[in-house]
Amino acid sequence: MLNKYARAFFTRVLTPFAALLLRLGVSPDTVTLIGTGGVVAGALVFYPLGEFFWGTVVITLFVFSDLVDGNMARQLGRSSRWGAFLDSTLDRVADAAVFGGIALWYAGGGDDVLMCAVAIFCLASGQVVSYTKARGESIGLPVAVNGLVERAERLVITLVLTGFSGLAKFGVPHIEILLPVSLWIVALGSLVTLGQRVVTVRREAAEAAEAEGTGTA
């Protein structure tokens, strides 16, 4: 849902900015690299220190590059396999930095082994969820399923609740509970989404095999 509606809205909003960057001679790949670098820096510099509000502000500013670079490529009429590969690969790097930064906080100043493990699970499950779709498509299956918690949902839930939890440093009482809440939601949602994709790939593989007349093991 977020991918369908939020992307359409922000694409319209960011189109003039993307056009300006093109006029300045900036390439889509440059925007992709800068955006990922900003997200990684925001996550790995601020989050391990417990600075969740300012870390989220920095990450949010750069995370929109994911929409800007694609918009620029479309305006140029030059969407390429390389651009799609680079964008998808660096998305995984950015996601890992966000959850890795939170895990580092819990392993250090946050002093909570359980929540550190949950953050690591969020990191790993997010990578696996993305891999199941990519792998299914690579063997010729459509993987036609809208999972419960896909990348857009994972980012929005994590960044919004983590950012608000950072308001505890400004004196807002009890709001720090939002950080573990966000991690549990993403962990459980990712687990459900993984199950949805595995079941979908299994069904589509069986249907493809039946259509080919080979049967399934």
**CB 14 within 8 Å of CB 67:** yes
Annotate 116-131 with three-state secondary structure: HHHHHHHHHHHHHHHH
Query: One of 91, 95, 111, 112 is an active-site residue; which one?
Result: 91
User: Would you call 91 a catalytic residue per the annotation?
Assistant: yes
**Would the annotation count 197 as a binding residue?**
no
By three-state DSSP, how is residue 25 classified? coil
**Would the annotation count 66 as a binding residue?**
yes
Other CB atoms within 10 A of residue 27 CB: 16
**Would the annotation count 91 as a binding residue?**
yes
| DSSP code at position 213 | T
DSSP line for 116-180: HHHHHHHHHHHHHHHHHHHHHHHTT-------SS-HHHHHHHHHHHHHHHGGGGGT-TTGGGHHH
CA dist., res. 93 & res. 97, Å (int) = 6
CA dist., res. 149 & res. 159, Å (int) = 14
**Would the annotation count 95 as a binding residue?**
no
**CB 59 within 8 Å of CB 4:** no
**Would the annotation count 74 as a binding residue?**
yes
**Would the annotation count 112 as a binding residue?**
no
**Would the annotation count 29 as a binding residue?**
yes
Token code pair at residue 86: 């680079």
Give the number of C-alpha atoms closer than 13 A to the C-alpha of residue 53, restricted to the C-beta side: 11
Instruction: Give the rounded distance of the alpha carbon of 177 from its chain centre.
Output: 22
**Would the annotation count 111 as a binding residue?**
no
**Would the annotation count 87 as a binding residue?**
yes
- Among all residues, which ones are annotated catalytic? 91
**Binding site: which residues?**
29-32, 66, 69-70, 74, 80, 87, 91
**Binding site for a CDP-1,2-diacyl-sn-glycerol: which residues?**
29-32, 70, 74, 80
**Binding site for Mg(2+): which residues?**
66, 69, 87, 91
